[in-house]
Amino acid sequence: MAINKSSIDQEAVEKAIASALEDFYNSLLKKIDEINITDLMTRKNPYLYRAKAIQSAAEIVESVLSATVSSSEETIFGTCFFEPLAIAVSGGDKSLAEGIDVIVSDKENNTIYAIAVKSGTKVFNADSKKKQEENFNAAAKLAKQAKASYQPIIGYSYGKKRTTGRGKPKIYREIAGQDFWQELTGDPEFYLKIIKYMGKQPELYLEKYRESYNKASNRLVKQFTEVFCDDDGCICWEKLVRFNSGYDEPRKTNVDHKNGVFFFTFE
């Protein structure tokens, strides 16, 4: 049984996807344009780069930049693409409750669906899964006040999730990939149609994405060289490790995140 019992309007879905893709690329490009080398190097392992005998600033930059962009893409895509799409095809509304993305009120069956939309199936650890349960329990009080049946769902937008029936019974259901989109729309093929509905929209952003990425790469190499290399161009590993892990707090002066120079002294 589908959560949305109305027929899916293909034109409306295509418009929702086009809008979601625009939001995704705008957010991603903004993230890339704002990246600076100091933010990146506080989160990366300088010992690993030294152990790999890396001698090129460009090689380190490409490693940290690609990893950071990849991680950001997944998070941004879930928020900008999967969530709006789930709202559009479920006939629901964006939830204001913490940890819940979509609320669908099925008045015909007096049921409230509380849906947490996730990307892949590996997003939870023990603590975050416990927090999700707490969020569902909090939202259940609203359903109780409305005297409606309550169905909490964790929906994974891609991947597979099979429940074993073992362990402590859960207050929510977990469904993924084809099962999730079929639950929302009633269409077992909808998970495939998402690709079709994208059409040629992604290609419209390819040039802007490449331009932004290449500019970031050039900017970060320049910053890395200015901050973490000696005058002869060799990487100063002690300075890099001290910045990354030392007790002393670096004090930045003359900072221009996009184009400027980074100079450091230590307190």
Return per-residue pLDDT of the chain as tens, 267 residues.
578 767 788 888 999 999 999 999 999 999 999 998 888 898 889 999 999 999 999 999 999 999 999 989 999 999 999 999 999 999 899 988 889 999 998 888 899 999 999 988 888 888 888 999 999 998 888 788 878 899 999 999 999 987 644 545 578 999 999 999 999 999 999 999 999 999 999 999 999 999 999 999 999 999 999 999 999 999 999 999 999 998 875 555 444 444 445 555 544
Q: What is the pLDDT of residue 192?
A: 97
Domain span(s) for CATH 3.40.1560.10 in the chain? 92-197
Statement: the pTM of the whole predicted model exceeds 0.85? no
Strand partners, 112: 105, 150
Q: What is the pLDDT of residue 255?
A: 47
Q: What is the pLDDT of residue 166?
A: 52
Q: What is the pLDDT of residue 228?
A: 93
Q: What is the pLDDT of residue 263?
A: 52
Q: What is the pLDDT of residue 257?
A: 45
Q: What is the pLDDT of residue 118?
A: 93
Q: Which two tokens stand for residue 190?
A: 């909808």
- The CATH architecture that domain 92-197 belongs to is 3-Layer(aba) Sandwich (3.40)
The dotted CATH code for 7-90+200-267 is: 1.10.3250.10
